[in-house]
C-alpha cells in the first residue's frame, strides 16, 4: 500500500481533497437520481428562516465598543480575493500583504502594528486558535491558507484590549471566523487565470440523522508572476457534522491542509534600479517550503431562558519546512539561505458559562470562562542551508508551552440607556525549552498576569450608541527568548526577555444607524506596549526594540441605499512612535500610518452584478530615523458577472491599473552575489529591500449550484 501511494504521489492533503470530491459527487448522484420510498407519504414543504449576518446587522444596543463588528457571506460573495489572507481585511483598518510565496503566512498590519505574521492580532476558526506561539518562523505565526473562503459563514471582530474573552496575541485586536453549518445548495466552482492560476472548489451538505453533514474540498495551483515560478500545489479538505436544535447543539469538524511552493522573497531596490534583478526576479530561486495542518474539533452548546453554556475542544498537528534567503550572499561562498522547521501537536479547549440574572432590579449577564492550551513543539530548528541542502545547524530545540486563561465578565444595565461591561482576565503560562545544540539555553519559565477591562455604553439615542473602553492586554514572547543565555549565531552572552509583554489601551467611540441604510462607526483610540521585545526567528536570537505608543482615529461606513447597491468606506489613520528615545530615532519600522478601503457592489435583479474596490495604504517608515519610507500603495480590483438560476460566470481583474508599488518593504543590510563588500561590518549594504504587488491579472470563474 505504501508503495502504491508513493507511486501515485498521494499526500494527506490530496487524499482529503479526494474524499471531499467523492462525497460531493455521491451527493450529486443521489440528488439527481433519488431512490423511491414506497412507505413515504408526501408532506408539505416548509422553508426554514435564514438569518443573514454581516455589516448590515443591527448592533445598536449589543456591541460593547465602536470597534466591534461582524462581516458575513453577503460581503464575501462579491469580494474578489487574490489570496486567502485577505479575509483579514474584512476587519476595517486591517491589512494583509505578502513578502514570500503563497504557502507562507501573510504579513498583517493593524493599528500601527507590524504584526509580522500575527504577534498582536489573534484569530480563531471554529474555536481553534490559529496563532502559533514559539513558532519556527516568528512569534504568533498566523497562517490562514487552511481556510476555504466559500465555507466561511461570518467573521466577528474587535479591536483593542477591551474584551475579557480575548487573550494572547490580541492587544491590537481579534477575529473569530465561523464556517457554515450547512449549505442550502451544493457548489461546484472552477477558476482559471493568468500566470498559471487554477482553483477548484466542491462542497455540499446532506441531512444525516438529526443533523447536517457538510463536506468541502479545494485544490489550487499557481505559478505566479515571478521569474522563478511558485509552483504552488495546495489541497484543502473539510468535513463537518452539526446538530442545531432550539436549545442545544453540537458540531464535529475535521480539516486537512497541505501545500508546497517555491518562493520569491524581497530583493534590494538598488538591484532593481540597476537592472541586476528584475522587478519580479529572485535573489535565491531555491527558497520555498512545505507545510501541513490537520485538525479535529468539537463544539457543544445549550441555552435556556436563564443561561447558556459553550464548550469547544480541539487537537491538531501541523508542520512547516521553510527555506528563505533574506540577506543574499553575506556568506560569499554558500549564500545566506536559512531553513526554519518544526513539528507541532496542539490541544486545548474553551468553556464558557453565562447566566442572565437580576439583582436589586438591575438586569445583568455574568460570564465565567476558562481557556486551556498546550503546545508540544519538536525539532524547532534554524539551519544554514544552500539550495535546500543542510550546511550547519544554528539552533534546534524541543519546546512545551502550556497556558491557562480564566476570565469573568459582568454586563449590567444600570439605566434604560446606560450599561457597563466589566471584566477581569488572569493568564498563567509555563515554558520549557530543551536545547539540542546549546545546553545553556535550556530552561523553564513560568509567568502570570491579570488584565482588567471596562466598557461604558450610553444610548441608544436616535439609533446611536456612545462608548468608552479601557483595558489591559498582552502578548507572550517566544519560549526560546525567555531562557536564552548564549546567542547561537555569535556565541556571545545574550539577555533573556520577559515571558509576557503587557499593553494597555483606551478608546472613545460612537456607532450610529441614524441614517436609514447606513451603519457608521467612529473611534479615537490610544494603545501603549511596554516592550516590543520579540524573538527574531530569522536570526535565532532576541532583539529589544523598546516601549511604544500608538494612537489614531478610525471611521467605518457601510451603506445600502437600495436593494441592488451596497457602498462601504473605511478609513484608519495612526501615529506610532517609540517612547523614551530622541524624536529623531523614535519611528517604529513598518508601522502603517494610513489604511483606506472603499468599495461598491451592484447586484441587479436581472442577474448582473459587479464590484469595484480600492485598497490603499501608506505613511510607512522603514527605519527608526525615518530616513527611509515604504511609499504609498493603491490597488483597484474589479469584478463583474452574470448569474442565471444555478449557473454563474464572473470575471475578476486584480490590480486594474497595473500598479508596481510595494506590497511590503524593509530597510536592512543585503549583499548581492559577486558584489564588492559593502560598508557594514559584515560586508552588506543597507537599503530598501522590497517585494512588489503582483501586476494586473484576470481570472475567470464558472460555478454551478445543485
CB distance 335 to 386 below 8 Å: yes
Residue 39 CB neighbour total at 10 angstroms = 4
Instruction: Report the C-alpha gap between 541 and 326 in whole angstroms.
Output: 16
> What are the tens digits of pLDDT across the range 74-99?
787 888 888 888 889 989 999 999 88
Beta strands in 645-684 (DSSP E): 647-654, 662-670
Cell of 566: 451596497
pLDDT at 46: 34
Instruction: Report the C-alpha gap between 177 and 72 in whole angstroms.
Output: 10
Mean pLDDT of 613-628: 95
Q: Tell me which of 509 and 61 has the higher pLDDT.
A: 509
Phi-psi label, residue 517: left if phi above 0, alpha if psi -120 to 50, beta otherwise: left
CB distance 267 to 283 below 8 Å: yes
CB distance 369 to 350 below 8 Å: yes
CB distance 595 to 616 below 8 Å: yes
Report how far apart, in Å, the C-alpha atoms of 163 and of each of 43, 387, 432, 450, 506 are. Answer: 48, 46, 29, 13, 12
- The 3-state DSSP class for residue 573 equals strand
Report how far apart, in Å, the C-alpha atoms of 158 and of each of 38, 51, 172 are. Answer: 54, 22, 9
2-34+43-705 architecture in CATH? Beta Barrel (2.40)
pLDDT at 29: 33
- The 3-state DSSP class for residue 616 equals strand
Positive or negative CA dihedral for 67, 70, 76, 78?
negative
Q: How many Cα atoms within 13 Å fall on the side-chain side of residue 489? A: 14
Beta strands in 325-361 (DSSP E): 338-359
pLDDT at 179: 95
Q: pLDDT band at 127, cuts 50/70/90?
A: very high
Q: How many residues does the chain have?
A: 706
Backbone angles phi, psi at 55, to 5 degrees: -70, -15
Cell of 358: 437580576
Instruction: Report the C-alpha gap between 543 and 669 in whole angstroms.
Output: 16
CB distance 595 to 556 below 8 Å: no
pLDDT at 55: 73
CB distance 311 to 350 below 8 Å: yes
> What are the tens digits of pLDDT across the range 287-332?
999 999 999 999 999 999 999 999 999 999 999 999 999 999 999 9
Q: pLDDT band at 53, cuts 50/70/90?
A: low
The sheet carrying 121-125 orders its strands as 69-72, 152-159, 173-179, 121-125, 128-129
pLDDT at 446: 96
| Listed residue (386, 332, 383) closest to 671, CA to CA | 332
Mean pLDDT of 31-38: 37
Spans of all domains in the chain: 2-34+43-705
CB distance 487 to 541 below 8 Å: yes
- The alpha-carbon radius of gyration of the chain (Å, integer) is 25
> What are the tens digits of pLDDT across the range 230-288?
999 999 999 999 999 989 999 999 999 999 999 999 999 999 999 999 999 999 999 99
> What are the tens digits of pLDDT across the range 590-599?
999 999 999 9
Q: How many Cα atoms within 13 Å fall on the side-chain side of residue 525? A: 37
Kindly report the average pLDDT of the chain as a whole number.
89
> What are the tens digits of pLDDT across the range 372-422?
999 999 999 999 999 999 999 999 999 999 999 999 999 999 999 999 999
DSSP 8-class letter at 55: T
CB distance 154 to 181 below 8 Å: no
CB distance 157 to 108 below 8 Å: no
pLDDT at 494: 85
> What are the tens digits of pLDDT across the range 464-491?
999 999 999 999 999 998 999 998 878 8
Instruction: Report the C-alpha gap between 177 and 71 in whole angstroms.
Output: 10
Report how far apart, in Å, the C-alpha atoms of 625 and of each of 534, 536, 575, 577 are. Answer: 20, 21, 15, 11
> What are the tens digits of pLDDT across the range 147-195?
999 999 999 999 999 999 999 999 999 999 999 999 999 999 999 999 9
Instruction: Report the C-alpha gap between 442 and 378 in whole angstroms.
Output: 14
Report how far apart, in Å, the C-alpha atoms of 590 and of each of 242, 479, 626, 675 are. Answer: 43, 24, 11, 27
Beta strands in 276-337 (DSSP E): 288-303, 307-324
Amino acid at each position: 500500500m505504501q508503495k502504491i501511494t508513493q507511486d501515485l504521489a498521494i499526500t494527506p492533503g490530496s487524499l482529503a481533497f479526494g474524499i471531499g470530491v467523492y462525497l460531493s459527487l455521491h451527493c450529486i448522484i443521489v440528488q439527481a437520481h433519488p431512490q423511491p420510498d414506497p412507505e413515504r407519504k408526501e408532506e408539505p414543504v416548509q422553508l426554514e428562516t435564514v438569518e443573514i449576518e454581516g455589516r448590515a446587522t443591527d448592533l445598536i444596543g449589543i456591541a460593547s465598543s465602536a470597534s466591534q463588528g461582524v462581516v458575513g457571506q453577503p460581503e464575501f460573495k462579491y469580494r474578489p480575493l487574490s489570496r486567502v489572507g485577505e479575509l483579514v481585511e474584512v476587519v476595517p483598518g486591517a491589512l494583509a500583504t505578502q513578502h514570500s510565496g503563497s504557502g507562507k503566512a501573510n504579513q498583517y498590519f493593524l493599528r500601527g502594528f507590524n504584526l509580522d505574521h500575527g504577534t498582536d492580532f489573534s484569530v480563531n476558526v471554529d474555536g481553534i486558535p490559529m496563532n502559533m506561539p514559539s513558532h519556527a518562523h516568528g512569534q504568533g505565526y498566523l497562517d490562514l491558507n487552511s481556510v476555504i473562503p466559500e465555507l466561511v459563514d461570518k467573521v466577528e471582530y474587535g479591536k483593542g484590549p477591551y474584551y475579557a474573552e480575548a487573550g494572547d496575541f490580541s492587544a491590537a485586536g481579534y477575529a473569530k471566523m465561523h464556517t457554515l453549518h450547512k449549505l442550502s445548495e451544493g457548489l461546484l466552482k472552477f477558476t482559471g487565470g493568468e500566470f498559471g492560476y487554477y482553483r477548484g472548489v466542491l462542497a455540499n451538505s446532506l441531512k444525516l440523522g438529526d443533523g447536517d453533514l457538510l463536506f468541502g474540498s479545494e485544490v489550487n495551483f499557481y505559478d505566479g508572476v515571478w521569474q522563478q515560478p511558485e509552483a504552488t500545489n495546495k489541497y484543502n479538505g473539510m468535513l463537518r457534522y452539526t446538530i442545531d436544535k432550539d436549545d442545544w447543539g453540537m458540531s464535529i469538524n475535521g480539516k486537512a491542509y497541505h501545500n508546497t511552493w517555491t518562493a520569491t522573497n524581497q530583493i534590494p531596490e538598488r538591484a532593481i534600479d540597476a537592472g541586476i534583478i528584475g522587478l519580479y526576479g529572485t535573489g535565491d530561486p531555491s527558497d520555498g517550503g512545505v507545510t501541513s495542518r490537520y485538525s479535529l474539533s468539537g463544539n457543544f452548546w445549550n441555552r435556556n431562558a436563564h443561561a447558556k453554556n459553550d464548550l469547544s475542544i480541539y487537537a491538531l498537528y501541523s508542520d512547516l519546512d521553510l527555506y528563505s534567503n533574506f540577506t543574499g550572499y553575506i556568506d560569499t561562498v554558500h549564500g545566506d539561505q536559512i531553513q526554519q522547521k518544526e513539528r507541532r501537536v496542539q490541544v486545548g479547549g474553551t468553556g464558557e458559562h453565562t447566566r442572565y440574572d437580576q439583582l436589586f432590579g438591575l438586569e445583568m449577564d455574568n460570564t465565567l470562562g476558562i481557556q486551556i492550551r498546550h503546545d508540544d513543539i519538536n525539532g524547532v530548528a534554524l539551519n544554514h542551508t544552500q539550495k535546500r541542502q543542510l550546511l550547519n545547524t544554528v539552533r534546534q530545540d524541543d519546546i512545551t508551552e502550556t497556558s491557562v486563561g480564566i476570565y469573568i465578565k459582568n454586563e449590567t444595565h444600570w439605566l434604560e440607556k446606560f450599561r457597563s461591561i466589566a471584566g477581569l482576565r488572569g493568564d498563567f503560562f509555563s515554558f520549557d525549552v530543551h536545547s539540542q545544540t546549546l545546553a545553556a539555553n535550556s530552561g523553564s519559565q513560568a509567568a502570570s498576569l491579570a488584565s482588567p477591562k471596562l466598557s461604558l455604553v450610553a444610548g441608544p439615542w436616535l439609533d446611536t450608541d456612545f462608548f468608552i473602553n479601557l483595558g489591559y492586554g498582552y502578548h507572550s514572547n517566544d519560549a526560546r527568548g525567555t531562557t536564552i543565555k548564549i546567542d547561537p549565531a555569535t556565541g556571545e552572552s545574550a539577555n533573556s526577555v520577559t515571558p509576557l509583554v503587557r499593553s494597555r489601551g483606551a478608546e472613545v467611540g460612537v456607532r450610529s444607524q441614524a441614517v436609514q441604510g447606513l451603519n457608521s462607526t467612529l473611534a479615537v483610540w490610544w494603545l501603549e506596549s511596554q516592550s516590543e521585545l520579540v524573538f527574531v526567528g530569522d536570526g535565532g536570537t532576541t532583539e529589544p526594540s523598546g516601549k511604544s505608543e500608538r494612537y489614531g482615529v478610525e471611521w467605518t461606513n457601510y451603506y445600502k441605499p437600495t436593494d441592488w447597491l451596497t457602498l462601504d468606506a473605511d478609513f484608519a489613520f495612526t501615529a506610532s512612535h517609540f517612547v523614551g528615545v530622541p524624536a529623531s530615532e523614535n519611528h517604529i519600522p513598518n508601522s502603517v500610518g494610513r489604511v483606506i478601503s472603499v468599495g461598491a457592489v451592484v447586484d441587479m435583479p436581472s442577474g448582473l452584478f459587479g464590484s469595484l474596490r480600492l485598497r490603499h495604504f501608506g505613511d510607512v517608515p522603514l527605519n527608526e530615523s525615518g530616513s527611509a519610507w515604504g511609499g504609498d500603495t493603491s490597488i483597484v480590483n474589479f469584478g463583474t458577472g452574470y448569474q442565471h438560476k444555478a449557473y454563474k460566470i464572473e470575471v475578476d481583474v486584480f490590480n486594474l491599473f497595473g500598479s508596481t508599488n510595494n506590497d511590503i518593504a524593509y530597510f536592512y543590510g543585503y549583499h548581492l552575489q559577486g558584489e564588492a563588500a559593502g560598508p557594514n561590518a559584515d560586508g552588506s549594504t543597507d537599503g530598501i529591500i522590497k517585494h512588489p504587488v503582483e501586476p494586473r491579472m484576470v481570472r475567470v470563474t464558472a460555478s454551478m449550484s445543485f
